[in-house]
Amino acid sequence: MYQPKGIIPAMATPFYPDGSLNLDELGNQVERFIKSGVHAIFTLGTNGEFYALNFDEKVQVMETVIQKAAGRIPVWVGTGCVTTEETIQLSKRAQSAGVDALSVITPYFGQVSQKAMAEHYRSVAKAVDLPILMYNIPARTGNSISKETVAELAKVENIIGIKDSSGNFDNTLQYLEITHREFAVIAGNDSLILSTLMAGGVGAIAGTGNIFPERLVEMYRAWESGDIVKATQIQDSIRPIRDCLKLGNPNSVIKRAANLIGYPVGPARAPFDGDYSVWDPALMKTLEKYYPELLKK
């Protein structure tokens, strides 16, 4: 069964100014990522604004990405929904579309017990014949997957790993400690990519990949070759743009930064589009000072 590794950008979903899907630019972004040397691509995650898309739009996005990738690179699709039934429906649709693997965020909005969480994931895993990566991001969902539940679900054949976006590195370490080494633990916080790799993780699904995928690939390759000094320097270089995420909804800020460096992925969907008059001066100052090469593209 396919095992994830390396740098996997969490793709933004391009929109036109009126908020409609820009599938042509979505295809352009697939080409961009493939040329950058990333190890896979991931669509319909948090940075892909899955929460702002309806079922049919999600299908359009996944089909466009799969068709454009044309088997050249693995395609991950986020299929987690609020309910188990809808998650299964979207996961089956993704399987029929030809995706390589699924990322399934925890149920959100309503509180979920660990027992119900485990049953949710088992039901989804049983419904499809695809590798499943669990997605833990409690700040957004209100629900966190405990280390005990992760250890239990790691025994399910096609649940192959977990993306930890908790921002709590000790939580990531506990996932690593309690699961077998074939179970993939992936960084979901871009500040912890190198730390996760050095602790035994296999890679990262990275929102900043929308800004500088080549830089993240270079860091991974440096780590892979044992050049920890270089890898650390690159990891540290991500901090300035990460500091800009406090300007607003983080994935919306990343999308705006991608626009400013010449990738027309458009606005985030309302009401998450933010106040660009506030964002742009701070983002441009950061880009000009720390990443001038990106503005020359």
Per-residue model confidence as pLDDT tens digits over 142-175: 999 999 999 999 999 999 999 999 999 999 999 9
* Token reading at 249: 């909804």
Strands 41-43 and 75-78: parallel
Q: Burial letters for 199-209: b for 16+ Cβ neighbours within 10 Å, e otherwise?
A: bebbbbbbbbb
CATH number at residue 115: 3.20.20.70
CA distances from 31 to 65, 151, 219, 263 (A): 10, 37, 21, 12
Identify the H or E element spanning 8. Answer: strand 6-9
pLDDT of residue 297: 60
Task: Identify which of 275, 282, 277 has the alpha carbon closest to the alpha carbon of residue 241.
Answer: 282
Confirm whether 142 is domain-assigned.
yes
Confirm whether 283 is domain-assigned.
no
**Boundaries of domain holding 169:** 6-227
Instruction: Count how many residues are written for the chain.
Output: 297
Write the single-letter amino acid at 32. Answer: R
Number of domains forming the structure of the chain: 1
- Phi, psi of 3, deg, nearest 5: -115, 130
Confirm whether 250 is domain-assigned.
no
Which residue in 58, 68, 121, 135 is the catalytic one? Answer: 135
Of the chain, the percentage scoring pLDDT greater than 90 comes to 95
Per-residue model confidence as pLDDT tens digits over 57-83: 999 999 999 999 999 999 999 999 999
pLDDT of residue 26: 98
Per-residue model confidence as pLDDT tens digits over 186-201: 999 999 999 999 999 9
Cα gap 279→242, rounded to integer Å: 13
Positions of the chain with pLDDT lower than 50, given as ranges: none
Confirm whether 153 is domain-assigned.
yes
Which residue in 163, 175, 255, 291 is the catalytic one? Answer: 163
CA distances from 100 to 2, 37, 87, 161, 195 (A): 8, 18, 17, 14, 27
Q: Verify cis geometry, omega within 30 degrees of 0, for the bond prior to 17.
A: no
Confirm whether 168 is domain-assigned.
yes
Confirm whether 31 is domain-assigned.
yes
Cα gap 95→105, rounded to integer Å: 17
Residue 263 is a catalytic residue? no
Residue 285 is a catalytic residue? no
Cα gap 103→138, rounded to integer Å: 15
The pTM is what? 0.96
Of the chain, the percentage scoring pLDDT greater than 70 comes to 99
Q: Helix or strand or coil: residue 234?
A: helix
Confirm whether 296 is domain-assigned.
no
Q: Work out the angle at residue 149's Cα, subtended by the Cα atoms of residues 87 and 2, and round it to the nearest 5 degrees.
A: 60
Confirm whether 36 is domain-assigned.
yes
Task: Identify which of 1, 72, 67, 77 has the alpha carbon closest to the alpha carbon of residue 39.
Answer: 72
pLDDT of residue 62: 98
Q: Work out the angle at residue 36's Cα, subtended by the Cα atoms of residues 161 and 183, and round it to the nearest 5 degrees.
A: 10
